[in-house]
A and B are shown apart, each in its own frame.
Chain A
């Protein structure tokens, strides 16, 4: 058993969806480590797990953190049943859309992802039943995360934002950086003499703005219009038509229809900020849709993120036209 200064206090909205048994375990944690909790994983008939600083800890029956799975509290069927009820306010019919997408966004932008048995209709998920695993993810804003890349993204001479693509494997801070980029571009960057511009944000999975009932729960800037829960291709075109943005931002593009919509946006004179899963330029080029997009040579800045100096390290910034390396930790 570790003598780790036991635990973090979870944010209220996440505590509220935990069943009483599990809530008791985490409610007593001192607030000391609150800032380090990344997630809590509740899996039926398996040990209760907490993600702290990129490491997994198990949670003992008295709320203590332990590295040993066998000493941990085992999640029971009753815990899962009650958690399901609390998560959907005892109304599965009211969260049909969320069941299809596999997550619920809570006040404060925190998210609970879940898995169970999928019910398919014409090959697509109609709903999930027998929910058995939950991932409570604590939302955190890292204001200033985009500071190192802003000078490369903003073109001060023409007072415009360059078409920028943030690239990294999962969990390296792409979304956090995109959120901060959106916020700063929307509010303005006095240090670069850049006034704020209208930003249209397509937040398909409610990850960037963390909207709860349509209201952004995270700071995405004063001039940002958020289209929540809409697919990227359709959403970008809607924003273009409806909201006259100077910048359109979206997360995790990769499908052919996303790229087709991006082409429209590029040619409409609107700057694009987007993220892509990947580790290197060679990897991106091998993916058909992205290979085509990069071949167009319209993306002006490609920013590679990693974990070499912690989550969100800017590993490399590349000029999308010349493929010249402009900066970054590994350059």
Chain B
């Protein structure tokens, strides 16, 4: 009886681990897509509204769902603090806090930080160029992540489902 219970537990946990890893891949795709939409909104705010960054970031945060809203919300909050953070500092702090929450990879964080060094520092046309460049780079990351997800999601699920019974057979 104990052996059966153990085998069921091993199978269950390996399946859950498989679903978890597959879910992480799907979540990364969703996050990158939402980030691209957020940056598109920021571009609109800057280009058509010339809205100052703190206000523009808050607006964008309002239009994004979680977890992307947290990035823009945090950057807006840092900019409003009396410490006089530059846009680059505020954005970098926001990215640093956010990347842990959404499993952002180093390359993707570097693209965002690169954008941060240019934010607010030039005229509208130039801001649009920087935002578009960042979006194009992130779009490539998204394409790679989608490919990984297309292969990986099934792989992790099947692996999770089969690894448990295989381990049970070995142990018995």
Contact = CB atoms under 8 A, between A and B. Distances in A.
A binds B: yes
Interface residues of A, number: 18
How would you classify the secondary structure of chain A's contact residues: helix, strand, loop or mixed? helix
A94 B52 contact: yes
B84 A89 contact: no
Contacts of A127: 123
Contacts of B90: 90
B124 A90 contact: no
B95 to A, nearest CB: 15
Contacts, number: 60
A91 B55 CA distance: 10
B54 interface: yes
Contact of B83 (A20, A89, A93, A96): A20
Interface string A80-113: 0111011011111110100000000000000000
B86 A93 contact: no
Provide the main secondary structure of the chain B interface. Answer: loop
A188 interface: no
A19 interface: yes
Contacts of B121: 92
Interface in B82-126: 82-87, 90, 119-124, 126
Interface residues of B, number: 24
A88 B120 contact: yes
Contacts of B127: 93
Given A23-B82, A89-B79, 14 more contacts: A20-B83, A82-B86, A83-B84, A85-B84, A85-B87, A88-B52, A88-B120, A89-B52, A90-B120, A91-B87, A92-B120, A92-B122, A94-B52, A96-B50
Contacts of B82: 16, 20, 23
